[in-house]
Chain A
Amino acid sequence: METTTDNRGDVTVVTVGGKVDASNADAFGAALTAPMAAGTAKVVLDCAGLEYISSAGLRQILGGLKAAQAGGGELVLASVVPDVERVLKISGFSKLMRLESDTDAAVATLA
């Protein structure tokens, strides 16, 4: 699991790749919420390389959503692969957040 962070004006793009499971979910969550802690509550999570996520990772995404909203911003997911989207639907998470088909479009909606 690797994450990178890229600032685009007042929107931060956090890119996650690999598998988020219970052994690395905390590290994923830290990367996801770092922008909010730094004062940028508009965050796009680029999930194009995210192959797998379990409840531990979903918990971190929920935390990220709450932190973004608390900061007056929003967390949007971009480029989610079909298996991950299916888990988001089953868990009811897809109703709590916006999913966009690509990162540039997601950034545009927040800027």
Chain B
Amino acid sequence: MLPERFELREAQLEQLPDLLAFVERRCVELAPDAAVGFDLQLAVEEVFVNLVQHGYGEAVAGPVRVELSKKDGALWVTIRDEAPPFEPDSAPTPDVGAGLEERETGGLGLFLVDQLMDEVRYQPGYEGGNRLDLIKKLAPARSGGKDR
């Protein structure tokens, strides 16, 4: 039985590949026929990197707990940390229509999370940190389901 939880006491970027491997394995285990592993790895990465670089910041490395389960026809990723409360509206929104000269990349990571997941639930201040749930619906098994 593969572990359902990925936990770090001191989250650092060097551990990102291990975290993504965990997400990929859980997707294969829980939804082998659904092509959601790419999107879930990307979304989890962006949240993790944002936590390491901004939530905790350069000087501090803090804990993170990532759980991935299947519920109600969707894959649920729950990410918990002990960083100061994060308000998603405080992040910039990238201008995806901007030309090369004007284009900046601030806010791109969280924008991608929003675009790739079906639902994103931020709970700043949850149990002294933050809780984030990423929900990715799985297509119905029978034909006639929605196109991707």
- Give residues in A with beta carbon < 8 Å to B: 19, 21-23, 52, 54-56, 58-59, 62, 65-66, 69, 83, 87, 90-92, 95-96
Number of A-B contacts (CB under 8 A): 64
Q: Do most interface residues of chain B lie in helix, strand or loop, or is the interface mixed?
A: helix
- Not counting A52-B38, A55-B105, a sample of 6 additional A-B residue pairs whose C-beta atoms are within 8 angstroms of each other reads A22-B16, A23-B17, A65-B100, A90-B115, A96-B100, A96-B103
Contact across chains for A96 and B45 when beta carbons are under 8 A apart: no
B35 to chain A, nearest CB (A): 8
Q: In the bound complex, how far is the Cα of B38 from the Cα of A95, in angstroms?
A: 22
Indicate which residue in B14, B38, B105 contacts A62 across the interface (CB closer than 8 Å).
Answer: B105
Interface residues of B (CB under 8 A from A): 13-14, 16-17, 20, 38, 41-42, 45-46, 49, 94-100, 103, 105, 108-109, 111-112, 115-116
- Chain A facing B: main interface SS: helix
The 8 Å CB contact of A21, one of B38, B45, B98, is B45
What are the 7 tightest A-B residue pairs by CB atom distance, in nearest-first order?
Answer: A92-B96, A55-B109, A55-B108, A23-B16, A83-B38, A22-B49, A59-B105
